[in-house]
Structure 1
Amino acid sequence: MRLAGSEWRAFFDSMEREAWRLETLPVYSVPQEAEAIREFADSGVVDPAAVKPWVDRLHGYASAGRNVGRVHVVRRPLTEYLKFEFEHYRHNVAAGEDVRILDVTDRPDPLAGAPDFWIFDQARVVLMQYEVDGTQVGREVYEGDVTPFLELRRVAIAEAVPFEEYVKGIGT
Protein backbone atom coordinates (compact mmCIF):
# COMPACT_ATOMS: atom_id res chain seq x y z
CA MET A 1 0.00 0.00 0.00
CA ARG A 2 1.35 3.42 -0.97
CA LEU A 3 0.92 6.29 1.48
CA ALA A 4 0.59 9.94 0.54
CA GLY A 5 -0.64 13.14 2.13
CA SER A 6 -3.25 12.70 4.83
CA GLU A 7 -3.01 8.88 4.63
CA TRP A 8 0.68 9.14 5.59
CA ARG A 9 -0.08 11.52 8.45
CA ALA A 10 -2.85 9.24 9.77
CA PHE A 11 -0.63 6.16 9.46
CA PHE A 12 2.20 7.90 11.30
CA ASP A 13 -0.07 9.25 14.02
CA SER A 14 -1.56 5.79 14.59
CA MET A 15 1.64 4.56 16.25
CA GLU A 16 1.01 3.36 19.76
CA ARG A 17 4.49 3.52 21.31
CA GLU A 18 7.25 4.41 18.88
CA ALA A 19 8.22 5.63 15.44
CA TRP A 20 11.83 5.19 14.37
CA ARG A 21 13.60 6.19 11.15
CA LEU A 22 16.76 5.24 9.29
CA GLU A 23 18.06 7.99 6.99
CA THR A 24 20.89 7.10 4.63
CA LEU A 25 21.07 9.91 2.08
CA PRO A 26 23.28 13.03 2.16
CA VAL A 27 20.54 15.09 0.46
CA TYR A 28 16.77 14.94 0.48
CA SER A 29 15.32 17.03 -2.30
CA VAL A 30 12.07 18.40 -0.91
CA PRO A 31 10.58 21.18 -3.05
CA GLN A 32 8.80 22.73 -0.04
CA GLU A 33 12.21 23.20 1.66
CA ALA A 34 13.98 24.95 -1.24
CA GLU A 35 13.38 28.49 0.01
CA ALA A 36 14.22 27.57 3.62
CA ILE A 37 17.49 25.99 2.47
CA ARG A 38 18.41 29.16 0.54
CA GLU A 39 17.63 31.28 3.60
CA PHE A 40 19.70 28.94 5.79
CA ALA A 41 22.63 29.14 3.34
CA ASP A 42 22.52 32.95 3.69
CA SER A 43 21.93 33.21 7.44
CA GLY A 44 22.96 29.90 9.04
CA VAL A 45 19.65 29.97 10.91
CA VAL A 46 16.48 27.93 10.55
CA ASP A 47 13.27 29.88 11.07
CA PRO A 48 11.65 28.49 14.25
CA ALA A 49 8.23 28.86 12.60
CA ALA A 50 9.34 26.37 9.94
CA VAL A 51 10.04 23.66 12.51
CA LYS A 52 7.10 24.42 14.77
CA PRO A 53 4.60 21.96 13.21
CA TRP A 54 6.97 18.99 13.69
CA VAL A 55 8.08 20.17 17.13
CA ASP A 56 4.44 20.49 18.18
CA ARG A 57 3.78 16.94 16.94
CA LEU A 58 6.82 15.67 18.88
CA HIS A 59 5.51 17.33 22.05
CA GLY A 60 2.11 15.74 21.46
CA TYR A 61 3.62 12.29 20.98
CA ALA A 62 5.74 12.67 24.11
CA SER A 63 2.79 13.82 26.21
CA ALA A 64 0.95 10.67 25.08
CA GLY A 65 3.93 8.48 26.05
CA ARG A 66 5.01 7.86 22.46
CA ASN A 67 8.62 8.13 21.31
CA VAL A 68 10.19 9.20 18.04
CA GLY A 69 13.78 8.49 17.07
CA ARG A 70 16.10 8.25 14.12
CA VAL A 71 19.63 7.51 13.00
CA HIS A 72 21.12 9.41 10.08
CA VAL A 73 24.13 7.87 8.34
CA VAL A 74 26.55 10.63 7.26
CA ARG A 75 29.96 11.19 5.68
CA ARG A 76 32.09 14.30 6.06
CA PRO A 77 32.29 16.84 4.72
CA LEU A 78 28.63 17.37 5.46
CA THR A 79 26.51 18.48 2.54
CA GLU A 80 24.80 21.85 2.74
CA TYR A 81 21.55 19.94 3.09
CA LEU A 82 22.87 18.02 6.11
CA LYS A 83 23.97 21.26 7.75
CA PHE A 84 20.44 22.55 7.23
CA GLU A 85 18.94 19.31 8.55
CA PHE A 86 21.22 19.39 11.60
CA GLU A 87 19.70 22.75 12.53
CA HIS A 88 16.29 21.06 12.43
CA TYR A 89 17.65 18.24 14.57
CA ARG A 90 18.59 20.73 17.30
CA HIS A 91 14.91 21.63 17.60
CA ASN A 92 13.82 17.98 17.34
CA VAL A 93 16.14 16.92 20.15
CA ALA A 94 14.94 19.78 22.34
CA ALA A 95 11.38 18.51 21.75
CA GLY A 96 12.31 14.97 22.81
CA GLU A 97 13.20 13.17 19.59
CA ASP A 98 16.11 10.73 19.98
CA VAL A 99 18.29 11.78 17.04
CA ARG A 100 21.54 9.88 16.52
CA ILE A 101 24.29 10.15 13.93
CA LEU A 102 26.30 7.31 12.42
CA ASP A 103 29.38 8.85 10.78
CA VAL A 104 30.98 6.41 8.33
CA THR A 105 33.63 8.80 7.00
CA ASP A 106 36.59 6.81 8.30
CA ARG A 107 35.08 3.38 8.71
CA PRO A 108 33.06 0.74 6.90
CA ASP A 109 29.34 1.42 6.78
CA PRO A 110 27.61 -1.32 8.78
CA LEU A 111 24.32 -0.36 7.07
CA ALA A 112 25.61 -0.19 3.48
CA GLY A 113 22.78 -0.84 1.08
CA ALA A 114 20.05 -0.42 3.70
CA PRO A 115 16.94 1.42 2.53
CA ASP A 116 15.49 4.48 4.19
CA PHE A 117 12.52 3.43 6.29
CA TRP A 118 10.30 4.16 9.24
CA ILE A 119 9.34 1.38 11.65
CA PHE A 120 6.34 1.81 13.90
CA ASP A 121 5.88 -0.05 17.17
CA GLN A 122 8.62 -2.43 15.97
CA ALA A 123 5.95 -4.11 13.84
CA ARG A 124 5.05 -2.01 10.78
CA VAL A 125 7.59 -0.78 8.23
CA VAL A 126 7.19 1.97 5.67
CA LEU A 127 9.84 2.05 2.96
CA MET A 128 10.81 5.57 1.95
CA GLN A 129 11.54 5.62 -1.77
CA TYR A 130 13.89 8.16 -3.38
CA GLU A 131 15.52 8.98 -6.70
CA VAL A 132 19.32 9.18 -6.76
CA ASP A 133 19.14 12.96 -6.22
CA GLY A 134 17.10 12.52 -3.02
CA THR A 135 13.71 13.33 -4.52
CA GLN A 136 11.04 11.31 -2.75
CA VAL A 137 8.97 9.21 -5.10
CA GLY A 138 6.89 7.24 -2.64
CA ARG A 139 6.17 5.67 0.72
CA GLU A 140 5.13 2.06 0.74
CA VAL A 141 3.94 -0.14 3.58
CA TYR A 142 6.16 -3.21 3.63
CA GLU A 143 4.15 -6.41 3.84
CA GLY A 144 6.91 -8.92 4.68
CA ASP A 145 8.83 -10.04 7.76
CA VAL A 146 10.05 -7.00 9.74
CA THR A 147 12.91 -8.90 11.40
CA PRO A 148 15.60 -7.57 9.01
CA PHE A 149 14.46 -4.00 9.73
CA LEU A 150 14.60 -4.60 13.47
CA GLU A 151 18.18 -5.80 13.00
CA LEU A 152 19.06 -2.71 10.95
CA ARG A 153 17.56 -0.59 13.74
CA ARG A 154 19.55 -2.45 16.39
CA VAL A 155 22.83 -2.01 14.49
CA ALA A 156 22.13 1.64 13.71
CA ILE A 157 21.43 2.53 17.33
CA ALA A 158 24.41 0.54 18.60
CA GLU A 159 26.81 2.18 16.14
CA ALA A 160 25.51 5.76 16.27
CA VAL A 161 26.07 8.50 18.80
CA PRO A 162 23.52 10.96 20.17
CA PHE A 163 23.18 14.05 17.98
CA GLU A 164 24.41 16.51 20.62
CA GLU A 165 27.51 14.41 21.27
CA TYR A 166 28.22 14.21 17.56
CA VAL A 167 27.96 17.94 16.87
CA LYS A 168 30.20 18.77 19.85
CA GLY A 169 32.81 16.43 18.38
CA ILE A 170 32.78 17.99 14.90
CA GLY A 171 32.36 21.56 16.03
CA THR A 172 29.15 22.57 14.24
Structure 2
Amino acid sequence: MAVATSFDELMASVQRSAVHLEMRDGYTRSSEAFIAWRGGYRGAPTNAPSQDWRELVRTTTARGVKIQRARIVSEPLSDFVQFEYDITAEHNAAAGEQVRWLARRDASDLMLPGNDLWIFDDRVVQFLHFAGDGTYLDSTYDDDARLVKVCSDSFAAVWARATPHENYRPTD
Protein backbone atom coordinates (compact mmCIF):
# COMPACT_ATOMS: atom_id res chain seq x y z
CA MET A 1 0.00 0.00 0.00
CA ALA A 2 1.42 3.40 -0.91
CA VAL A 3 1.70 5.96 1.87
CA ALA A 4 1.05 9.65 1.27
CA THR A 5 3.50 11.38 3.61
CA SER A 6 6.77 13.26 3.62
CA PHE A 7 10.27 12.78 4.98
CA ASP A 8 9.84 15.72 7.37
CA GLU A 9 6.59 14.29 8.76
CA LEU A 10 8.16 10.88 9.25
CA MET A 11 11.24 12.29 10.98
CA ALA A 12 9.00 14.35 13.25
CA SER A 13 6.93 11.29 14.18
CA VAL A 14 9.64 8.63 14.43
CA GLN A 15 10.00 7.25 17.95
CA ARG A 16 12.70 4.54 17.86
CA SER A 17 14.76 4.45 14.69
CA ALA A 18 15.40 5.98 11.30
CA VAL A 19 17.82 4.00 9.17
CA HIS A 20 19.28 4.98 5.83
CA LEU A 21 20.84 2.69 3.23
CA GLU A 22 23.01 4.34 0.57
CA MET A 23 24.28 2.27 -2.35
CA ARG A 24 25.33 4.78 -5.02
CA ASP A 25 28.85 5.94 -5.83
CA GLY A 26 27.72 9.50 -6.43
CA TYR A 27 24.93 11.88 -5.69
CA THR A 28 24.18 15.48 -6.60
CA ARG A 29 27.55 16.72 -7.79
CA SER A 30 26.23 20.27 -8.02
CA SER A 31 25.77 20.47 -4.25
CA GLU A 32 27.43 23.47 -2.66
CA ALA A 33 29.18 21.31 -0.05
CA PHE A 34 30.68 18.97 -2.66
CA ILE A 35 31.85 21.88 -4.78
CA ALA A 36 33.52 23.46 -1.72
CA TRP A 37 35.22 20.15 -0.92
CA ARG A 38 36.49 19.86 -4.50
CA GLY A 39 37.89 23.36 -4.06
CA GLY A 40 39.89 22.24 -1.03
CA TYR A 41 37.58 22.95 1.92
CA ARG A 42 37.88 20.09 4.43
CA GLY A 43 35.60 21.00 7.35
CA ALA A 44 31.97 20.21 8.02
CA PRO A 45 29.77 21.72 5.30
CA THR A 46 28.61 25.21 6.21
CA ASN A 47 25.77 25.64 3.71
CA ALA A 48 22.21 25.96 4.99
CA PRO A 49 20.99 22.46 3.93
CA SER A 50 23.93 20.84 5.76
CA GLN A 51 23.36 22.91 8.89
CA ASP A 52 19.63 22.11 8.75
CA TRP A 53 20.44 18.39 8.49
CA ARG A 54 22.73 18.45 11.53
CA GLU A 55 20.06 20.29 13.53
CA LEU A 56 17.40 17.75 12.49
CA VAL A 57 19.66 14.88 13.54
CA ARG A 58 20.48 16.54 16.89
CA THR A 59 16.83 17.22 17.73
CA THR A 60 15.71 13.77 16.59
CA THR A 61 18.40 11.87 18.51
CA ALA A 62 17.72 14.07 21.57
CA ARG A 63 14.25 12.47 21.59
CA GLY A 64 15.92 9.07 21.94
CA VAL A 65 15.69 8.09 18.27
CA LYS A 66 18.58 6.09 16.83
CA ILE A 67 19.68 7.29 13.38
CA GLN A 68 21.85 4.85 11.45
CA ARG A 69 23.36 5.26 7.98
CA ALA A 70 24.99 2.38 6.11
CA ARG A 71 26.93 3.06 2.93
CA ILE A 72 27.78 0.36 0.42
CA VAL A 73 30.69 1.72 -1.59
CA SER A 74 32.98 0.78 -4.44
CA GLU A 75 36.68 0.84 -3.64
CA PRO A 76 38.70 2.78 -4.46
CA LEU A 77 36.13 5.40 -3.52
CA SER A 78 34.65 7.70 -6.14
CA ASP A 79 35.38 11.38 -5.56
CA PHE A 80 31.86 11.95 -4.24
CA VAL A 81 32.06 9.08 -1.74
CA GLN A 82 35.52 10.29 -0.70
CA PHE A 83 33.85 13.64 0.03
CA GLU A 84 31.21 11.85 2.12
CA TYR A 85 33.91 9.92 3.95
CA ASP A 86 35.89 13.09 4.65
CA ILE A 87 32.91 14.96 6.16
CA THR A 88 31.25 12.08 8.05
CA ALA A 89 32.96 12.63 11.43
CA GLU A 90 32.23 16.37 11.60
CA HIS A 91 28.92 16.33 9.73
CA ASN A 92 27.00 13.11 10.37
CA ALA A 93 28.59 11.56 13.45
CA ALA A 94 29.03 14.84 15.36
CA ALA A 95 25.30 15.48 14.94
CA GLY A 96 24.42 12.04 16.34
CA GLU A 97 24.20 9.68 13.37
CA GLN A 98 25.84 6.28 13.54
CA VAL A 99 27.55 5.60 10.20
CA ARG A 100 29.00 2.38 8.86
CA TRP A 101 30.73 1.49 5.59
CA LEU A 102 30.68 -1.72 3.58
CA ALA A 103 32.85 -2.32 0.53
CA ARG A 104 30.65 -3.36 -2.38
CA ARG A 105 32.77 -6.48 -2.94
CA ASP A 106 31.80 -7.61 0.59
CA ALA A 107 28.07 -7.22 -0.14
CA SER A 108 27.81 -9.57 -3.13
CA ASP A 109 25.94 -12.26 -1.24
CA LEU A 110 23.41 -9.86 0.32
CA MET A 111 19.97 -9.38 -1.15
CA LEU A 112 19.48 -5.65 -1.45
CA PRO A 113 16.66 -3.37 -2.58
CA GLY A 114 17.06 -1.69 -5.94
CA ASN A 115 17.08 1.83 -4.50
CA ASP A 116 18.54 3.77 -1.61
CA LEU A 117 16.05 3.99 1.21
CA TRP A 118 15.03 5.18 4.64
CA ILE A 119 13.07 3.02 7.10
CA PHE A 120 11.16 4.71 9.92
CA ASP A 121 10.40 2.67 13.07
CA ASP A 122 10.25 -0.51 10.94
CA ARG A 123 6.84 0.63 9.72
CA VAL A 124 7.38 2.80 6.63
CA VAL A 125 10.01 2.64 3.90
CA GLN A 126 10.93 5.60 1.71
CA PHE A 127 12.62 4.71 -1.60
CA LEU A 128 14.84 7.43 -3.05
CA HIS A 129 15.02 7.71 -6.83
CA PHE A 130 18.01 9.24 -8.61
CA ALA A 131 18.99 9.95 -12.20
CA GLY A 132 22.06 8.22 -13.59
CA ASP A 133 24.21 11.26 -12.78
CA GLY A 134 23.15 11.14 -9.10
CA THR A 135 20.60 13.93 -9.25
CA TYR A 136 17.74 13.32 -6.82
CA LEU A 137 14.44 12.83 -8.66
CA ASP A 138 11.76 11.88 -6.13
CA SER A 139 10.70 9.47 -3.41
CA THR A 140 7.99 6.90 -2.92
CA TYR A 141 6.69 5.63 0.42
CA ASP A 142 5.25 2.27 1.36
CA ASP A 143 3.97 0.74 4.58
CA ASP A 144 3.33 -2.80 3.32
CA ALA A 145 4.57 -4.88 6.26
CA ARG A 146 6.20 -7.54 4.07
CA LEU A 147 8.10 -4.97 2.01
CA VAL A 148 9.20 -3.05 5.10
CA LYS A 149 10.45 -6.30 6.66
CA VAL A 150 12.44 -7.26 3.54
CA CYS A 151 14.06 -3.81 3.52
CA SER A 152 14.68 -3.89 7.29
CA ASP A 153 16.28 -7.32 7.02
CA SER A 154 18.50 -6.06 4.17
CA PHE A 155 19.58 -3.06 6.20
CA ALA A 156 20.26 -5.22 9.26
CA ALA A 157 22.47 -7.57 7.20
CA VAL A 158 24.47 -4.64 5.83
CA TRP A 159 24.74 -3.02 9.26
CA ALA A 160 26.01 -6.22 10.87
CA ARG A 161 28.72 -6.63 8.26
CA ALA A 162 29.71 -2.98 7.84
CA THR A 163 32.57 -1.21 9.61
CA PRO A 164 31.86 1.72 11.95
CA HIS A 165 33.08 5.01 10.50
CA GLU A 166 35.77 5.50 13.12
CA ASN A 167 37.35 2.15 12.12
CA TYR A 168 36.81 2.23 8.36
CA ARG A 169 39.82 2.88 6.11
CA PRO A 170 39.05 2.87 2.38
CA THR A 171 41.37 0.87 0.16
CA ASP A 172 43.30 2.64 -2.58
Report the TM-score range of the alignment, normalised by the length of the smaller protein. 0.7 to 0.9
Counterpart in the other structure of 2:16: 17
Q: What do residues 60-112 of structure 1 show as CA deviations (whole Å, max 9, x unaligned)?
A: 11211111111010011211111222233212112221100011246735245
Aligned position for 1:149 = 151
Residues 28, 134 of structure 1: 8 Å contact kept: yes
Over aligned residue pairs, what C-alpha RMSD do you find?
2.3
Contact 1:2 1:138 in 2 (8 A): no
TM-score w.r.t. length of structure 2: 0.83
Equivalent pair of 2:43/2:87 in contact (CA under 8 Å): yes
Query: Which amino acid in 1 is paired with 2:142?
Result: Y
Where structure 1 has 5 or more consecutive residues not aligned to the other structure, the ranges are none
**Counterpart-to-counterpart distance in 2, 1:158 and 1:164:** 15
Superposed displacement of residue 114, structure 1? 3.6
User: Aligned residue for 1:128?
Assistant: 128
Identity %: 26
In structure 1, C-alpha distance between the alignment counterparts of 2:106 and 2:18, rounded to whole Å: 29
**CA deviation digits over 1:26-67, x for unaligned, max 9?**
011264x1x332221121414542332222221111211111
Distance 2:46 2:35 in 1: 16
TM-score (structure 1 length as normaliser): 0.83
Q: Which amino acid aligns with 2:151?
A: F
Residues 1-172 of structure 1: matches in 2 within 5 Å?
1=3, 7-29=6-28, 31=30, 33=31, 35-50=32-47, 51-90=50-89, 91-105=91-105, 108=108, 110-111=110-111, 114-144=114-144, 145=146, 146-166=148-168, 169-170=169-170
Aligned length: 165
Contact 2:100 2:165 in 1 (8 A): yes
- Of the structure 1 ranges 88-97 and 64-73, higher mean CA displacement relative to structure 2 is found in 88-97
What amino acid is the match of 1:92?
A: N
Question: Measured at CA, do residues 112 and 125 of structure 1 come closer, stay the same or move farther in structure 2, by a change above 3 Å?
Answer: closer
Residue 153 of structure 1 aligns to a residue in which SS? helix
CA deviation map 1:114-141 (0-9, x unaligned): 4211000011111111122222211111
- The amino acid that maps onto 1:18 is S
Whether the 8 Å CA contact 2:113–2:154 is kept in 1: the answer is no
**Structure 2 letter corresponding to 1:85:** E
